[in-house]
Structure 1
Amino acid sequence: MKDSMTAAEISQCLTLSSITGHSWHVQACCALTGEG
């Protein structure tokens, strides 16, 4: 999809790497096809 962000881009935008108190995971998905 045009202009969509990757999981890595989303985690960077949200600065998730600064969260060290617990685990986190960003799962790529598609609302149009249900993939992911």
Structure 2
Amino acid sequence: MAKVSLEKDKIKFLLVEGVHQKALESLRAAGYTNIE
């Protein structure tokens, strides 16, 4: 996996209407926790 410039807990995702549930699951599975 590619190295990111920031730690995953420092990267914020703001999901808008209509985003598929699978997208949220994929982000969480990849280790991202700052998801709104």
Between 1 and 2, higher relative CO (CA 8 Å, sep ≥ 6) is seen in 2
Q: Do they fold alike, i.e. is TM over 0.5? A: no
The structure with more radius of gyration: 1
Q: Give the TM-score taking structure 1 as reference length.
A: 0.28
Q: Larger helix proportion, structure 1 or 2?
A: 2
Q: Give the TM-score taking structure 2 as reference length.
A: 0.28
